[in-house]
Amino acid sequence: MLAAELIDPMLPALKPTDSVGQALDWMQEHRIGQLVLTDQGDYRGVVSEELLMDVPDSDQPLSSVMRLFEQIYVNEDQHLYEIMGLIIQNRMEVVAVVNEGREFAGTISANELLKQFAQELGVQEPGAILILTLHERDYSMAEVSRLVESNNVKIISSYFSSAAYGMPDRSRLTLKLNRRDITPVISTLERFGYHIEAAFANAPVESIDQERLDSLLRFLNT
């Protein structure tokens, strides 16, 4: 999903002539701590509730207050993953989107981006989650997919996490599957030498690691 598709049309853009009080009112109305500032269609940065609260005169124009992230924005064709990384790195609540001419196109909120990110990962879809521990040199998504799909199960999403330096055998592959009954999948993966670190499902799991998995499921139900 691209930035242009993630713009929240409900979030207003502030102008330099708007007052501090008006900006705070809009932030309260939209339950957000930051809003984008624009000047005649050009992006000028972000103003924050935290900084505005320290301004003694609520009638003071935004042109005279401190702005954040003046050089940080995204292009309309940037991917959701890139935007998520930028927001997390800079601890932003909103990020401005600009078009090819560097003109302001709209605002993306971190909260809505997180919801969309969760949907892209299939978090809300019913199904099990498997966490595999493996050596980096053994990682092959094509092979794992083949083994999973041999049980008539589909991978909704996956995430590979590299191991810490010096521990190549502790990489993790997290799989979100479209089925709750994952016993056949676990049996197949273990038969081919994959180590199941954890499994989260709503159906009984039978494998050589049954006791460990049962403990995890009991924990989830508490």
| 158-168 pLDDT per residue, tens | 888 887 666 66
Query: Please, which pLDDT band fits residue 83 given cuts at 50, 70 and 90?
Result: very high
Lowest-confidence range among 101-105, 119-123, 169-173, 202-206? 202-206
| 103-126 pLDDT per residue, tens | 999 999 998 888 887 777 666 678
pLDDT at 208: 40
97: Cα within 13 Å, side-chain hemisphere: 23
Put residue 50 in one of left, alpha, beta given phi > 0 → left and psi -120 to 50 → alpha: alpha
Query: Please, which pLDDT band fits residue 220 given cuts at 50, 70 and 90?
Result: very low
Find all residues with CB under 8 Å of 69, minimum gap 6, and list them: 45, 46, 90, 92, 95
Write the DSSP string, 32-57. Answer: -SEEEEEETTEEEEEEEHHHHTT-S-
CATH number (domain holding residue 136) = 3.30.70.260
Neighbouring-strand partners of residue 94? 109
pLDDT at 117: 78
Query: Please, which pLDDT band fits residue 214 given cuts at 50, 70 and 90?
Result: low
Neighbouring-strand partners of residue 43? 38
User: How big is the CA angle at 122 (ends 119 and 124), to the nearest 5 degrees?
Assistant: 80
**Co-location of 85 and 166 in the same domain:** no
87: Cα within 13 Å, side-chain hemisphere: 25
pTM of the model: 0.68
**Co-location of 31 and 14 in the same domain:** yes
Q: Which of 99, 119, 139 is the last residue of a domain?
A: 119
Neighbouring-strand partners of residue 131? 174, 198
Q: Which of 94, 119, 144 is the last residue of a domain?
A: 119
Q: What three-state secondary structure class fits 72?
A: coil
Q: Report phi then psi at 66, rounded to 5.
A: -70, 140
Q: Which of 67, 96, 119 is the last residue of a domain?
A: 119
pLDDT at 107: 97
pLDDT at 119: 76
Average pLDDT (169-194) is 90
The number of residues making up the chain comes to 222
Separation between Cα atoms, residue 139 and residue 133, nearest integer Å: 10
Q: Which helix (H) or strand (E) segment is 4 a member of?
A: helix 3-6
**What range defines the domain where residue 29 resides?**
3-119
CATH number (domain holding residue 49) = 3.10.580.10
176 in Cβ contact with 199 (< 8 Å): no
